[in-house]
A and B are shown apart, each in its own frame.
Chain A
Amino acid sequence: MKVVGITTQQEVYVGSKDRNFRINEFLIISDPYQGDLMGEIVEAKTYNKYIPLSIHGELADSSVIESLKALGYNIEEDTIYIGKIRLLNEALYPVETGCDVRIPTFDEVKDIMINSPADEGLILGVIKNTDQMAKDMDEEYKNLLYTFEEGELKKQRDIPYIFNIRSMHQYPHIGVFGGSGSGKSFGLRVVLEELMKLNIPTIVLDPHFEMDFSQRGDYMPKEEEIDYRDKFKCLQVGFHVGVRFEDLSPQDLKNLLDASSPLTDAMNNVVDILFKRNDSYNSFYNRLKMLAEAQEEGSLDRIQLRIDSADSNLEREGWLKRKELFLTYDKTCPYNSVRGIIWRLNRLYNEGIFSKDIREIEDGLNMGKLIVIQGNTRILQVFSTYLLNNLYHRRRDYKDALYKKTTAEYFPPFIVVTDEAHNFAPKGYDSPSKSILKEISQEGRKYGTFLILATQRPTLLDETITAQLNTKFIFRTVRASDIQTIQEETDITVEEARRLPYLRTGDVFISEALMGRTIFARIRAAHTTSPHTENPFDELKNISKAEDEKFMQIIKNKLPINGDDFINVIKEIERDTGITYTVNIFEDKLEDLVTKGLIKKEKTPFFNIYKEI
């Protein structure tokens, strides 16, 4: 390998007759005057004077090339390989043309590849095209992981990519970008596995119900199985966790209602006026309801009529109460706004949000667990607003108290992780969850609260937050607008941006403030798998198979079944199992088993006989 052509202080071309170059490969240029210069291949090309453009711009077709080969001339041997190297540090002078280029040793690249001990960082994958340097790597960094490529589990051959989690203190927050199917969720899973390994308290908002870690990836060897079951907890909003209504501040309540469906100014006003400290769900709801009923009557006279004509004391008292509410609030709380609040409150209630609390989440974090909060996107928006405000302020209060030397209950630092982050912090309009995420993005570093935000639409993510993400994982991205956003928000080069649409699933550019350059990596094979990675068509097949087996069990000891005897067999089955079939359906099902070859059918002049095979 030699430097060829015109060189500059930043870039040189390197040529070789027998060795192809790989993008992101590191090489050392031995400049006789400036010493060793390290660089990275940013473009790789092969060149053959005769193919494909032969000499006059025409394509030498493969049959001609093959014929020449048969005659002893292998045109491919005239191929030369050319790589463009970008120097990591600008040289003082343009590099000497003609000087030698060699592969670095591990020690020479260690500092630019690895910045964390293996047991303290997140082991996320391998740095691609580093196998040659990995040969003399310290044992500490060997055999840390597998990759999964083209349907095959592969042993680690490259230098590992280890994310220095401690550096988040200085460079907080991570963004994970990439189009659908590019490997974001899989990458997040690996990040979460590593966080669990280090017992870092983590909240995961999981709109896809996919972040469960109890199932081993079926490609992983059994002996590599890691049991995460006591390191995480999946909690569903409204089922396991919720909001304690009594703990809500007026602002909390307004956020919740707003997240459920946007509030008008008048509705905000209604909450301010009608919501009282220490209200329970019922006391608040009743106040709203009775006011609305009074307003429905339309006038004081009519309410008075209700009071006068009440059948019972209880009813009279009820209407007296309504009258009072009407007199106090009718002017300031228009009927429509009151109804609007009732409707929203009802909706939240029906989702079970008010039936539980967040105790279990707090306990989990305190024990260094990973807490997965599941629910559909909308309910997560509602709940996370409340939850994150709550947890973040607990942490902040604790730290502030330490600073002011007063006392407050301990609350640990934690990480917030979410997929589809653009739903929680959208660009261009306000949403309750956005303000808390924005606050964490700007101030969280001080308190040890960090964000990991994944989205397939970085363009739709709030730009203030995007600007705070100091590390970015960029997977395959095809959409031009997103590529442009990524280019603006990271230090990836033009060449790298051009490669974005072509990245393989699981390959990723990592732009890390700490490293000051972009690393090309492959995410390792996750130890665990999402509970619903089953192909939907396999699912259909499996279901019908299970159905068949069930039916076989039922009829097995009834075989052979005569066609004139269906009624009696059906009755027996009903008695044994409680399952009823009509004659038609029963016959269809038997025929179905015949076509599937599970039983056989014999014809007689009068009826068919279904028999065991």
Chain B
Amino acid sequence: MYTIANELKDKIVYLNKVLSEKYSQVLSLDEMFLREFIEENVGPIRKVNKLTEEELAYYYQKGGILGVDGSRNRVGGAYPHFVEIYQGLAKSTIYKDKPIYKADFYSPLYDEKGEFPIEDSIEEEESIRNRKLSTIEIEAALEGIRQLKPYAVIMDGSLIRYDIESFTRWMELRRECEEKDIILVGVIKDIKTSIIGELLKEDKELNIEECFHDRELLYGMLEYGEMISIHGEVTKKAKEGFSSLFMRSSKAPTVIGMDLLDSQKKYLEEMARLVLTLTPEDGRGVPLWIDIVDSEVKISDKMIRGLLESYLDRQILEMLFISERDKRTL
């Protein structure tokens, strides 16, 4: 026991050492320098204010805000004996009694349109599952904008993700929003980009070999309410057709990302202000409306189990979806 603990301790000390070495450069980057670098190469840093009461009232008149989110639950064991269940929700701040739910499922045991890959490539399989989730969210959003006619739609996650994972339905949503002049915005809690990191690395004078993530570089760097609107050319590298920004939306030092359609670029700052307005100051930076939609779309594993137990034949359930591990707890 003692020796294991000691060994573990040594490993952790070692991890700390390599991480400190790796990040010493980030940690030692002068904040002023970094801000200047960003202003020069990434985009202007600006402080934005919350929306005023009149602006909010205007939003209300124009149809309120539609929040969109999805959830996935997986029941069963290893491939192919599992089923994954997806639920999407679009909910308007105005029509609280008209939530729009969409549902779908995926199981390798059932081939919808012969679209499954012949060789069971894990990546391909995962992309199907991602597509299902994205699609269901897009469908909820589509029905939401048709029925509830919102002023803006806030999606939980990057818009680029929908473009990649469910292209056709995405184009449909995009077109409709553009036609109806409904602002579409994605809010990204965990930014995974390296936009600034890449630029730093490219700058030969700086002599930085590592490519750092934006979340690492931006941690604690922006003031509450400050945003960076990213230059078109810089974003384009990632994906064409979108405009993005980073913002510190709460007192927490982390930074969130937002993206909009290029065609709606003029709303960039306005949407940043909307998100700032809806985010608790002492929170993690996520707009409360997204948290509310998120909590309503989530289904507990227990509930899913109950559903399957009620509507699947016992034999099928046990034969196909109950893993050895689950049986132990049965």
Contacts and interface: CB of A to CB of B under 8 A. Distances in A.
Interface of A: 49-50, 54-56, 58-61, 63-65, 67-68, 70-73, 75, 77
Contact of A64 (B60, B96, B278, B294): B278
Contacts of B284: 56, 58
Contacts of A50: 288, 291-292, 295
Nearest to A65: B288
5 contacts: A54-B280, A61-B282, A67-B51, A68-B93, A72-B92
B53 A70 contact: yes
Given A68-B93, A72-B64, A60 B59 contact: no
Given A60-B288, A63-B50, A77-B96, A68 B278 contact: yes
B64 A71 contact: yes
Nearest to B151: A71
Nearest to A78: B96
B281 interface: yes
A50 B65 CA distance: 18
Given A71-B56, A72-B93, A73-B94, A49 B281 contact: no
| Chain B interface extent, by class | 20 to 34
Contacts of A67: 50-51, 56, 277-278
Nearest to A49: B295
A211 B96 CA distance: 61
A77 B96 CA distance: 10
B279 interface: yes
A61 B279 CA distance: 9
Nearest to A77: B96
A72 B51 contact: no
Q: Is the interface of A mostly helix, strand, loop or mixed?
A: loop
Contacts of A68: 93, 278, 288-289
Contact of B280 (A64, A71, A72, A73): A64
The winner among B92, B284, B292 for most chain A CB atoms within 10 A is B292
Interface in B90-117: 92-94, 96
A72 B65 CA distance: 9
A74 to B, nearest CB: 8
Interface in B131-152: none
Interface in B49-108: 50-51, 53, 56-57, 59-60, 64-65, 92-94, 96
Interface in B165-179: none
A64 B292 CA distance: 12
B291 A56 contact: yes
A72 B295 contact: no
B293 to A, nearest CB: 10
B306 interface: no
4 A-B pairs closest in CB distance: A72-B94, A70-B56, A73-B93, A71-B93
B132 to A, nearest CB: 25
Contacts of B281: 61, 63-64
Given A55-B292, A70-B56, A70-B59, 13 more contacts: A54-B291, A55-B291, A56-B283, A58-B282, A59-B280, A63-B50, A63-B277, A63-B281, A67-B277, A67-B278, A68-B289, A70-B60, A72-B60
A47 B173 CA distance: 37
A67 B49 CA distance: 13
Interface string B281-315: 11110001101101100000000000000000000
Contacts of A75: 292
A54 B288 CA distance: 8
B149 to A, nearest CB: 13
Contact of B288 (A64, A70, A72, A77): A64
Given A63-B50, A64-B277, A71-B65, A58 B283 contact: yes
A7 B53 CA distance: 46
Contacts of B280: 54, 58-61, 64
Contacts of A71: 56, 59-60, 64-65, 93-94
B94 A55 contact: no
A71 B58 CA distance: 9
A50 B287 CA distance: 12
B58 to A, nearest CB: 10
A417 to B, nearest CB: 56
A601 B256 CA distance: 75
B291 A73 contact: no
Contacts of B96: 72-73, 77
B127 to A, nearest CB: 29
A67 B54 CA distance: 11
A49 B283 CA distance: 16
B57 to A, nearest CB: 6
Contacts of B53: 70
